[in-house]
Structure 1
Amino acid sequence: MARPSIQDFADSPDGRTFFAAYDALIPREGGLPIDVETSHGVTRVNSYGSASGTPLVLLPGGGATSASYVNVVGRLAEGRRVLAIDIIGDAGRSRPGPGRPRSTGELLTWLDVVFDDLGVDAVDLVGHSYGAMIALAYATGVHHERVQRLALLDPTSCFAGLRLRYLAHALPALTVPTPDRQRRFLSWETGDASLDDIWVEMYCAGARFPTDRMIVPERPSREAISRLQSGKNVTAMFAPHSRAHDSERVSARVRRSLPDARVVILGSGTHHTLPLQPAGEITAELALLPG
């Protein structure tokens, strides 16, 4: 049986809910959509602000889309250009083509080609969760010279693995994804936190989004990490109540691996409240990455 296409999903009730919510969130802070066409497919980049200088590039967590930055992107764009990207092969408005990435190397090349098309020579790169995995791999890989500053938001599988209890709770939503299962998992991990209602509708409706197999970059080697120690400004932010991992232990590992990094334990939040909340703290920390 053939996998449903993105168009099949868009024509379904869940798909209509997903895209209606997504399209309501992006313009809220003045986002201007840009579709970048490459051999990998079409990548949706939502652009905010118009200031010159090094742009701030935002990569979301799995299934969260670039709209997950809706609570922070407006203030960040007051003094610089911000580019929020839908990861190709994941939920959002990016559309993979025949040359879709099928390996870590191809995924990082995809990101590099998108930057080329946008005319971006250098970036300050931010990633949350799965986006942090991609950002770290990019910043320590063959394209590392393009990254001026790196910020990782509750990075998973970058310095330590996921908790077994987290994986057990996530399993039902991963094996047979439905909006109800997605909602229950989100409710459990966030402790029933009050999040943006439109984003929650989008995230849960996207449970059946026809995504590609997730490409999981390997944890960087010591040699790769040394590239970050050679002058890059690195920030790692952790949610104090994250159920994905033990934030205190993982932050300690970051300090050992990257003694010069700025490591921040936020005042509140869980893995899946980020980057929606705590918006004020996250914005303040990211604003310390001057463009």
Structure 2
Amino acid sequence: MTCQAAGLGPVTVAYEQQGAGEPLVLLHGVGHHRQAWDAVVPLLADHRHTIAMDLPGFGESPDLDPTVPRDLRTAVAWLSAVLAELGVERPHVVGHSLGGLIALHLGQAGLARSVTALAPAGFWTDAERRHAYAMLAAARHSVRLLPDTAMVRLAHTAAARTALAGTFFGLPDRGPHETLIADLRALRDATAFSATLRAGRAPCLYSGDIPDVPVTIVWGTCDRVLPPRQAARVQAMIPGARLIQLPDCGHVPMNDAPDLVTRVILEATPSAPEEQ
């Protein structure tokens, strides 16, 4: 789908819609793709109309023009145009990592009915950001060095799965091999990866409360990329936010515990009273 976004020109987005009910937008993290939600979408489909999309320069969505600023204001403008083109007004928004940070900004902009942020990026200290970036960069460097055939072969061995996926998953042996392979290819091929990390060095990626929108913050207790202590900083800034911890889950809890993540999302995205 291609739409016009103010100040950005034509924007093309790859997305998938499934299910019925209130609209629920799913946003992935840096180096990931819309298939990050594949394990939970079928569980949500009987209750919500899910819209999973690839952010610019990730998955199958082309990157933005190099002259367009790579900042959160641009992300909000991009998503606002996409939602308008889809005819979706104030959906529930669920985001992971980078997508969680964007979801919080959509809530501030009045574009979300509710916000559920899984390990949202941007609530780090300088040392924590450098740690996260080092882990992400090392993972990307590793998969870019591997020929595709070798990556596929290694993804089918327990030791390699732990080495390749242990950074992101609390339970790297869980989930289909095909999911891990697709995730590694998405990380390898993400054209916006480096530009997004550069933009993330900005000194203040989020500030202010979201008083009129229900906010749920979700964090895996075994997150090695963004340590769960960062959740306290989100709560300090958004005092009304509900915090949920996911035992034994890593940075990508959708893979570790899809049933649990689905329950959390459904509880955090209640139907409007008139539609109950």
User: Taking structure 1 as the reference length, what is the TM-score of the superposition?
Assistant: 0.74
Match of 1:94 among 61, 86, 89: 61
Name the residue aligned to 2:113.
148
Q: Separation in 1 of the partners of 2:220 and 2:86? A: 32
Q: Which secondary structure does the structure 1 equivalent of 2:14 belong to?
A: strand
The answer to which of 71-80 and 206-215 deviates more is: 206-215
2:169 to 166, 174, 190: 190
Letter in 2 for 1:94: S
SS of the residue aligned with 1:107? helix
1:256 aligns with 2:236: yes
Match of 1:48 in 2: 18
Contact 2:26 2:53 in 1 (8 A): yes
2: distance between equivalents of 1:259 and 1:125? 19
Aligned counterpart, 1:282? 261
**CA 1:172/1:145 → structure 2, altered by over 3 Å: closer, same or farther?**
closer
Taking structure 1 as reference, are residues 207 and 253 closer, same or farther at Cα in structure 2, changes over 3 Å only?
closer
TM-aligned CA distance change 1:125 to 1:179, over 3 Å: farther
Offset, 1:284:
0.5
Conservation of the 8 A alpha-carbon contact between 2:123 and 2:234: no
Instruction: Tell me, yes or no, if structure 1 residue 121 matches structure 2 residue 89.
Output: yes
Distance 2:40 2:166 in 1: 22
Alignment root-mean-square deviation, CA: 2.6
| 1:224-272 deviation per Cα after TM superposition (whole angstroms, max 9, x unaligned) | x22x0x221000000000011331x222223322222110011221003
- May I ask how many residue pairs the two structures share in their alignment? 244
* Alignment match, 1:3: none
- Of 205, 209, 212, the residue aligned with 1:219 is 205
CA distance 1:234–1:43, shift in 2 (3 Å): same
CA distance in 2, matches of 1:284, 1:69: 14
Distance 1:139 1:207 in 2: 27
Given that 1:89 and 1:100 are in contact with CA atoms closer than 8 Å, whether structure 2 keeps it comes out as no
SS at match of 1:58: strand
Give, in angstroms, the shift of residue 103 of structure 1.
3.0
CA drift at 1:44:
1.1
Indicate the SS of the match to 1:287.
Answer: helix
Q: How far off is 1:73 after superposition?
A: 0.9
Residue by residue over 1:175-218, the C-alpha shift from the partner in whole angstroms, topping out at 9 and shown as x without a partner, is 57516499745234435442332121112123431513214374
Instruction: Report matched runs for 1:74-85 at 5 Å.
Output: 74-85=42-53
Indicate conservation of the 8 Å contact 2:98/2:120, yes or no: yes
Percent same amino acid at aligned positions?
23
Given residue 220 of structure 1, which amino acid in structure 2 is its aligned partner? Y
Among candidates 23, 32, 37, match of residue 69 of structure 1: 37
Determine if contact 1:235/1:263 at 8 Å carries over to the other structure: yes
Question: Unaligned stretches of 5+ in structure 2?
Answer: 152-160, 272-276
1:103-140 CA distance string (max 9 Å, x none): 32222211110011011111111110111122122322
Deviation at 1:100? 7.6
- What is the identity, as a one-letter code, of the residue corresponding to 1:157? G
Contact 1:136 1:158 in 2 (8 A): no
1:114 partner SS: helix
- Secondary structure of the corresponding residue to residue 235 of structure 1: strand
Q: 1:100 to 1:50 in 2, by over 3 A?
A: farther
Counterparts in 2 of 1:228-247, with a 5 A limit? Answer: 228=210, 230-247=211-228
Task: Answer whether contact 1:179 1:204 (CA < 8 A) is retained.
Answer: no
Partner of 1:200: 180
